[in-house]
Chain A
């Protein structure tokens, strides 16, 4: 059997679940967007009014796309295309790194390269694999658009745009795998490029010039720097112009050529950037169990902190917009108001909703810190720490403390961002106060999650990672969206987020928060007691 086919088959087999999830998930998202257009924005006048609103707050375009008209297809593209391209980019860079640097780093590549397959054929197989994956993704997206009843030509262009963007990022991922010594480094770099490309084209959209009727926009020059910008230039359902995709495909071809040049010239396992030498002595922080927990989580907490600050700024800068929506799109306003109670103004409702998301982010940051403890335990690096005079409960306590800090940092910095953003509003004082209250109200709910996951860590260490995330997803879903979807009241009440105080109106009822705090403290205490009695559970 042909060696390339063997290598390709092996790659497909390894990825069969993961890629299927990426492709089906991305297509499902496209389908949800087109369905939402039909359900929520079925009326052309309503779509037009929303598009015109973006002139008032171009920042909203960062999270959407270039407006290309008010038809259903154009509007769906505006809502979701940039995000689909972002997902294609992430799928493709992870795929590229996984099958090149990832294998090299783990030493698996050596096994294959020692066979007659040699050093470059595996990379060629990865390239074919990546091209096929993106082709499938493009077809799935095009089908998702087409089955919603949108025109076939526009759907095909949208699919092609997503696939071509994925291809460009795939090639960038391959280059990153040549440059960095570790898959962690290569993935980090690639993800930064993908997110950067998303933001750069968002900037281009926001700086672009609107047409006179306010329904379309011409993106500014930054969009030309981003493969996602190129995808939007195809203007699916409007211009249906495939020419910009030549840029994506051309860049991909060029980079793949470069990758083969590197690959055939370098040693197996080597990289263009050498692994940097670190310090020979530990810094002063790295001398206790909590110091280690901090060190291992610091990078992630920094990332959460940046995200939370941006989120906070958006919460208050975008709030003036909602009063406009309130008069133009009553359905959306009604939805927002359900989060924040009947007495709330649109602005209050909007800010409160935003901070519910902050609460979920804070819980996620805390969860991730606790899960690091599980990774330490499973990978065997907890063992030397516990073989030193560190009691089990103190070891876990270190992670609990760092997780609390993580949650506090997310809530705190989102509040700081909100205060900065509030300065642009008509009444900075009132908006600031509202944002600060909304932020503080979220912390207890996040801490309940921290406590619950700590208990889970003690009772079911092998399951803590999947179960922990599932718990958060369910809680967020029931607590935040449950009322809108009409789930039973008791299910809604199970979620900590359902008990977060709603800080609007004169008399804020904080008892829910106090209760949550008490429950969180109880759970943390229970986990400490439990950890005294639990032995170390290493593998799997």
Chain B
């Protein structure tokens, strides 16, 4: 399978600040790739390097096997981009901005198809194209950028936290449109810190922190690394038997409920034991990426990460 994006030991320094510290990233053709990390992990910096807007200070980045810094313009014919913090021209309307970007991308050769596609997207995202850029709210600016990106076909969509200003209904529309684009064979790099979005859309995920990759794989592969949470009503005298269970962690009794986590591949062994104990009010929460995320970052929550936003 062809690799669309690959970076190797990618490094970017701004003076003393290290934004990227040897990042490896691989995105294959046709997949929706989640690019996860907390604020300041280096997601936007990576994307700016991939777009040839910034030059790496070390390592290597490849887009369609080519150098994005040297061949930016040529590569951008195949790419559509949605920035995380959308700035619009204050005195251009949304419609004008969309047309401008589409024309720059050269995607309006078939005028009819473009207009139809744009009209459908404006309708789906419920966007009024006649307002001036300065009059749009954050969410509506985001919609302008999304419509501009999706209105012309692209081989690769690079989306930097694209849903940060959208309401839940619009997120549904967004999910549908991205799935449609991927269905047409496009590759998507979706940067986010919203895990539910990534879980719904993505085939594979790369998690980065402080400019480095910490985890990468398909969702089932990553879930494998996670634990399910188990909880039930506490009854006196269970402690010794509970303590004897294999593969459980974080055992605690709080507010009359027992809770622990269990490695996802051990759950089938633990459940019969619980049945034998006759526990009541049992809940088992499936492993989520959320938990994986917290495992990687939870201990880092109090001190601020070393990475810098661009």
Contact = CB atoms under 8 A, between A and B. Distances in A.
Given A282-B98, A383-B83, A388-B105, 16 more contacts: A181-B135, A184-B91, A275-B132, A278-B130, A279-B93, A279-B95, A279-B96, A286-B100, A286-B103, A287-B104, A384-B145, A387-B53, A387-B81, A389-B73, A389-B106, A394-B73
A470 interface: no
A329 interface: no
Given A275-B135, A387-B53, A389-B77, A282 B130 contact: no
Interface in B73-91: 73-77, 79, 81, 83, 85, 87-91
A106 B189 CA distance: 33
A282 B95 contact: yes
A390 B103 CA distance: 11
A181 B79 CA distance: 36
Interface stretch (A29-37, A238-246, A289-297): A289-297
A264 interface: no
Main secondary structure of the interface of B (DSSP, over half): mixed
Interface string A158-187: 000000000000000000000001101000
Interface in A279-323: 279-283, 286-289, 291-292, 295-296
A535 interface: yes
Main secondary structure of the interface of A (DSSP, over half): loop
Contact of B131 (A278, A281, A384): A278
A275 B103 CA distance: 27
B234 interface: no
A275 to B, nearest CB: 5
A535 B310 CA distance: 13
A281 B76 contact: no
Nearest to B122: A280
Interface in A357-393: 379-381, 383-392
Given A287-B99, A388-B76, A535-B53, A380 B85 contact: yes
A278 B132 contact: yes
Contacts of B97: 282
27 contacts: A278-B95, A278-B131, A278-B132, A279-B93, A279-B130, A280-B95, A281-B99, A282-B95, A282-B96, A282-B103, A286-B92, A286-B99, A286-B100, A287-B103, A288-B104, A381-B88, A383-B53, A384-B81, A384-B83, A386-B51, A386-B52, A387-B81, A388-B101, A389-B105, A389-B106, A391-B72, A392-B72
The 6 A-B pairs with the shortest beta carbon distances in the complex, nearest first, are A282-B99, A278-B93, A287-B103, A380-B87, A388-B104, A391-B73
A5 to B, nearest CB: 33
A288 B104 CA distance: 6
B5 to A, nearest CB: 15
Contacts of B95: 278-282
A423 interface: no
Contacts, number: 109
A292 B134 contact: no
Given A380-B87, A387-B53, A389-B106, A292 B74 contact: no
A278 to B, nearest CB: 4
B129 interface: yes
Nearest to B73: A391
A182 to B, nearest CB: 6
Contact of B96 (A278, A385, A391): A278
Interface string B20-57: 00000000000000000000000000001001111100
Contacts of B132: 275, 278
A381 B148 CA distance: 14
Nearest to A278: B93
A280 B130 contact: yes
Nearest to A287: B103
A282 B135 contact: no
Contacts of A296: 89
A144 to B, nearest CB: 39
Contacts of A45: none
A390 B71 CA distance: 10
Interface in B109-125: none
Interface in A82-112: 105
Interface string A389-429: 11110100000000000000000000000000000000000
A115 interface: no
B310 A538 contact: yes
